[in-house]
């Protein structure tokens, strides 16, 4: 992102359970184009934000709620509700007068997340990019149990065995996942227009249409729907470094070639006996994670 908050480059990669590898893969793609450019600030967010901050040398580490809200309000201050469904979790953010007034996250069940939809697309031998469009060809929605990923997959298989066509099953799945989201993640939330839908799953037109059908409002998908968290983190990093007149801690694009590894040990400092993850860059310790009291996480290295 440049100083005018325009997106110059974005990369969206599935982590496949290895966030550090995904970050290094992205940096190897960016290096040839930007290694001679001056990077003024770097921010990280998301479920792997802590370990990623150690790896890249981040200037700020922000939670996903703050990052997503910042990105949305930077482009459209009229937004009142953010529906976000990513690869591993989902969340809802309620805004009023440009301020987050309520939010909720679902990090326990995989039903409705990108990883679950990837799995179903693979099982049905349909490219994930085309998955949502199948629902548009449907004449009816088959009722699918969407409260649990395991039950949803079992129900889909059962409906296939009964002879329902794939388009109607996918349409039913989209509606089931939206019902699940609204009855769990969004339960008790005051959903008002203008509504933004973001995260990787926002690419699924079937899910978007199901939201509009259930809510009775138009649902907008922003241009950079899949990297809104990253955009928010970049904006916050810029603001933080400028406010504190700080030089960036960014390590450079050559981290793509560094060797990172993790080992764990048990802290015996108190009865909590926290399992501490020690992150190393080659033989040098660059950070600790896992403690409750900050003894290791706040250690100056």
Residue % of the chain over a pLDDT of 70: 97
* Whether 117 contacts 86, CB under 8 Å: no
**What tokens appear for 150 in the block?**
């395991």
pLDDT higher than 90, residue 67: yes
Name the pLDDT band for 112 (thresholds 50, 70, 90).
low
Position 109 scores a pLDDT of 67
Spatial distance between the Cα atoms of 83 and 198, rounded to a whole number of angstroms: 6
More confident of the two residues 129 and 55: 55
**What tokens appear for 201 in the block?**
């799953």
pTM of the model: 0.87
Q: Where are the domains of the chain?
A: 1-76+223-257, 77-221, 259-301
**SS3 state of residue 226:** helix
> Same fold for the domain at 1-76+223-257 and the one at 77-221?
yes
pLDDT tens track for 145-163: 766 777 778 888 888 888 8
Position 268 scores a pLDDT of 92
- 1-76+223-257: CATH superfamily: ATPase, nucleotide binding domain (3.30.420.40)
Spatial distance between the Cα atoms of 165 and 182, rounded to a whole number of angstroms: 26
Average pLDDT over residues 26-38: 92
Position 66 scores a pLDDT of 95
Spatial distance between the Cα atoms of 108 and 90, rounded to a whole number of angstroms: 10
The CATH code for residues 77-221 is 3.30.420.40
What DSSP element (H or E) covers 118? helix 114-123
pLDDT tens track for 166-217: 888 888 888 888 888 898 889 999 999 999 999 988 989 999 999 999 999 9
What does DSSP say about strands 60-61 and 43-44: parallel, antiparallel, or unpaired? parallel
Spatial distance between the Cα atoms of 127 and 121, rounded to a whole number of angstroms: 6
pLDDT tens track for 243-295: 988 899 999 999 999 999 999 999 999 999 999 999 999 889 999 999 999 89
Interhelix angle 49-56/19-34, rounded to 10 degrees, is 40
* Whether 256 contacts 31, CB under 8 Å: yes
């Amino acid at each position: 992102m440049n100083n005018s908050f325009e997106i110059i480059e974005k990369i969206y990669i599935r982590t496949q359970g290895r966030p550090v590898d995904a970050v290094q893969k992205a940096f190897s793609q960016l290096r040839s184009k930007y290694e001679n450019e001056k990077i003024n600030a770097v921010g990280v967010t998301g479920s792997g934000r802590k370990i990623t901050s150690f790896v890249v040398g981040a200037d700020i580490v922000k939670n996903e709620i703050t990052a997503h809200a910042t990105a949305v309000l930077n482009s459209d201050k009229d937004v009142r509700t953010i529906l976000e469904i990513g690869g591993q979790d989902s969340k809802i953010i309620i805004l009023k007068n440009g301020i987050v007034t309520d939010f909720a996250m679902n990090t326990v069940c995989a039903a409705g997340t990108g990883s679950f939809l990837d799995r179903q697309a693979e099982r049905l031998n349909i490219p994930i990019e085309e998955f949502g469009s199948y629902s548009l060809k449907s004449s009816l929605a088959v009722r699918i149990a969407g409260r649990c990923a395991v039950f949803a997959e079992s129900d889909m298989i059962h409906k296939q065995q009964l002879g329902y066509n794939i388009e109607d099953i996918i349409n039913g799945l989209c509606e089931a996942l939206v019902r699940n989201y609204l009855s769990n993640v969004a339960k008790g939330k005051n959903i008002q227009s203008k509504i933004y839908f973001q995260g990787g799953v926002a690419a699924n037109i079937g899910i978007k249409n199901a939201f509009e059908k259930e809510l009775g409002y138009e649902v907008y998908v922003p241009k950079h729907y899949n990297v809104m968290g990253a955009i928010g983190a970049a904006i916050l990093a810029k603001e933080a470094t400028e406010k504190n007149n700080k030089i960036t801690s960014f390590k450079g694009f050559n981290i793509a070639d560094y060797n990172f590894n993790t080992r764990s040990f048990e802290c015996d400092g108190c009865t909590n006996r926290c399992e501490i993850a020690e992150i190393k860059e080659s033989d040098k310790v660059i950070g600790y994670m896992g403690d409750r009291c900050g003894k290791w996480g706040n250690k100056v290295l």
